[in-house]
Chains A and B, each alone.
With several copies, the nearest count.
Chain A
Amino acid sequence: MSETPTIEQYQKYIQDHDFHALKCKSCGAVIAPPKGMCYSCGGTDFEWTAVSGKGKLVSYTVIHVAAEEFQEETPYFVAIVELEEGTRITARLLGLDPNEPEKVKLGIPVKLGYETGKSGKTYIGFSPA
């Protein structure tokens, strides 16, 4: 059991600033966030894999009205990024001004980083590469 990737460990890697994705043992597909079954081949055996951290910006928003826990952090970017390895993840956008969202261009290359919110929680983030 202990080698099987779990969601708990996935989240812990992020908190430790050491992002890992799952890799399907059958077909090699890189998957994040975790799934119980590989979309590509139906496999259910996974292992951890590091990623290059390179990706491109697919889409994004700027949150102004949030759940209580996050209201203090507004406005903030949330984006979808496609990693070089093919999988897409939801993350914060870093190093850009949330008050000028229209200046952000889709498709720009981004690189993986981390941001610690006012709540003390660490999020994955991407900044322009």
Chain B
Amino acid sequence: MPLRETNIVSGAQTKFGKLEGLTLREIFAEAVDKATIGAGVPKEDIQAAFIGSFIPEMLVHQGHTAPLLADYAGLRGLPATRHEAACASGATALRAGIMAIESGLYDTVLVAAAEKMTSVSTNRATEALAAAADDEFESSMGLTFPGVFAIAAVAHMQEYGTTEEDMALVAVKAHRNAAKNPLAQFQKEISLEKAMTPRYIAWPLKLFDCSPISDGAAAIVLTNNERAKQYTDTPVKIVGTGQASASMNLCDRTSLTSFEASVRASRIAYDMAGLTPKDMDFAVVHDCFTIAEIIASEDIGFFKPGAGAKAVREGVTAMDGDKPINPMGGLKAVGHPVGATGVKQAVVLYRELIGEAGANQVPNHDTALMHNFGGTGATAVVNIMRRADA
């Protein structure tokens, strides 16, 4: 049965990138202000805040971030909880918001997420990100976050003939889309040649296969059916939601060419919504690395296993293709402030679905899917959204 009560009535993000001179809480407050007072939702209407952030402990030496961020953003006193699932932190906060609305405990809630990553060195950020993998059995032998995806890439290349060039084409598409997105970290197209520059991070993944280190925040407001119309004429309904996990260790997974948690989460979300991949007009997927977008496009059922690379080559996932993926530029080119990404994805769906994505607007925009995953696929969240009037 589709979710009954959950509507998105506003959504906003800060610019992503190196936000010089601004702290985590200032970035967070900017997104909250845009999604509340900036969108006609008074802060007094917000009854609870569900906040995603991955690793402020290591990046800015701050835990207990939810009340801190909520208070700074003028949401003093509200129940404010932080949700952490590595790169899926944002989407797990969103799911908490969904359950809060569906349970009837709250009418209107804020879901917001932020990460401040650029105040530490690249090695230190790499170390913080490695906390998303298994410290005892992976990170402690020097396996990195890109390294895990590189291992998946090598398996995918071997099994399906995916090439380094296919991966590079994902980066080229991401930059092409982001070039029109004023909130993106990189607003410049890149050539295939440039994307293929052999600067290896974790072979065979090169610099341009990797999403950057970014600061940023995003926020949305969820409300129930009764209240939705008081904020907007075009609420977006979340009709299906799925979350699944897998073993943290890549070595314990059944398959290296598919992320089982993504497959399971999307199946649950489709079943709940009563929809299939064919019904999706577009998708926003978790392209932390180029290979991750290819695998995700297969895992969510847009393409058969192994057919993801071909879809990229043939432009099927381009903005004007049959199944646009990451029409605003994805993590790769818009940036990846880790914990914020899941909520930013919801903002992208919201803006595209209501037809306010500007130069990045996809032509068909009734129904879409977001796919956010955590770490190396140990957490996956899939949400299916639909314009209320669609």
Closest residue of chain A to B22, judged by CB?
A: A6
CB within 8 Å for A37 and B251 given contacts A68-B123, A80-B256? no
List chain A positions with a Cβ less than 8 A from chain B: 6-8, 11, 33, 35-37, 39, 42, 44, 58-71, 73, 75-76, 78-80, 88-92, 101, 106, 117, 121, 123-124
Q: Does B357 interact with chain A (Cβ within 8 Å)?
A: no
Which of the segments B102-110, B140-148, B306-314, B315-323 contacts the partner chain?
B140-148
B234-263: CB near A (< 8 Å → 1, else 0) gives 000000000000000111100010000000
Closest-CB distance, B58 to chain A (whole angstroms): 11
Closest-CB distance, B71 to chain A (whole angstroms): 8
CB pair B136 A7 closer than 8 Å: yes
- Choose from A36, A76, A78 the contact partner of B74 (Cβ within 8 Å): A36
CB pair A8 B74 closer than 8 Å: no
CB pair A37 B147 closer than 8 Å: no
CB pair A36 B204 closer than 8 Å: no
CA distance A36 to B75 in the complex (A): 10
Residues of A within 8 A of B130 (CB): 67
Residues of B within 8 A of A6 (CB): 21-23, 26
Residues of B within 8 A of A106 (CB): 154-155, 158
Q: Does B99 interact with chain A (Cβ within 8 Å)?
A: no
Residues of A within 8 A of B33 (CB): 36, 44
- Choose from A39, A78, A89, A121 the contact partner of B147 (Cβ within 8 Å): A78
Q: How large is the interface on B (under 10, 10 to 19, 20 to 34, 35 or more residues)?
A: 35 or more
CB pair B252 A88 closer than 8 Å: yes
CA distance A79 to B147 in the complex (A): 10
Closest residue of chain A to B76, judged by CB?
A: A39
Q: Does B200 interact with chain A (Cβ within 8 Å)?
A: yes
CA distance A101 to B247 in the complex (A): 27
CA distance A126 to B82 in the complex (A): 35
CB pair B151 A80 closer than 8 Å: yes
- Choose from B25, B153, B201, B251 the contact partner of A89 (Cβ within 8 Å): B251
- Choose from B74, B127, B155, B200 the contact partner of A44 (Cβ within 8 Å): B74
Q: Does B137 interact with chain A (Cβ within 8 Å)?
A: yes
List chain B positions with a Cβ less than 8 A from chain A: 21-23, 25-26, 29, 33, 37, 43, 71-74, 76, 122-124, 126-127, 130, 134, 136-144, 146-148, 150-155, 158, 200-205, 249-252, 256
Residues of B within 8 A of A75 (CB): 200, 203
- Choose from B72, B139, B140, B201 the contact partner of A65 (Cβ within 8 Å): B201
CB pair A61 B137 closer than 8 Å: no
CA distance A62 to B158 in the complex (A): 16
- Choose from A60, A68, A69, A90 the contact partner of B137 (Cβ within 8 Å): A90
- Choose from A7, A62, A64, A76 the contact partner of B23 (Cβ within 8 Å): A7
CA distance A29 to B272 in the complex (A): 36
CB pair B151 A123 closer than 8 Å: no
Closest residue of chain B to A71, judged by CB?
A: B123
Name the residue in B71, B137, B138 with the highest tally of chain A Cβ atoms < 10 Å from its Cβ. Answer: B137
CA distance A11 to B26 in the complex (A): 14
User: Could you give 20 example pairs across A and B, Cβ below 8 Å?
Assistant: A33-B134, A33-B136, A35-B74, A36-B29, A36-B74, A44-B33, A59-B155, A61-B153, A61-B203, A61-B204, A63-B144, A63-B202, A64-B201, A67-B130, A71-B123, A80-B251, A88-B251, A91-B141, A106-B154, A121-B140
- Choose from A60, A70, A88, A89 the contact partner of B142 (Cβ within 8 Å): A70
Residues of A within 8 A of B25 (CB): 7, 36
CA distance A37 to B28 in the complex (A): 12
Closest residue of chain B to A122, judged by CB?
A: B141
Closest-CB distance, A122 to chain B (whole angstroms): 10
CA distance A9 to B25 in the complex (A): 14
CB within 8 Å for A7 and B127 given contacts A78-B141, A78-B147, A106-B154? no
Closest-CB distance, A86 to chain B (whole angstroms): 12
Residues of A within 8 A of B127 (CB): 67-69
Residues of B within 8 A of A37 (CB): 29, 43, 72-74
CB within 8 Å for A62 and B141 given contacts A7-B26, A42-B74, A68-B123? no
Closest-CB distance, A8 to chain B (whole angstroms): 5
CB pair B151 A78 closer than 8 Å: yes
Residues of A within 8 A of B73 (CB): 36-37
Closest residue of chain B to A98, judged by CB?
A: B203
Closest-CB distance, B306 to chain A (whole angstroms): 16
Closest-CB distance, B280 to chain A (whole angstroms): 30
Closest-CB distance, B67 to chain A (whole angstroms): 13
Residues of A within 8 A of B153 (CB): 61
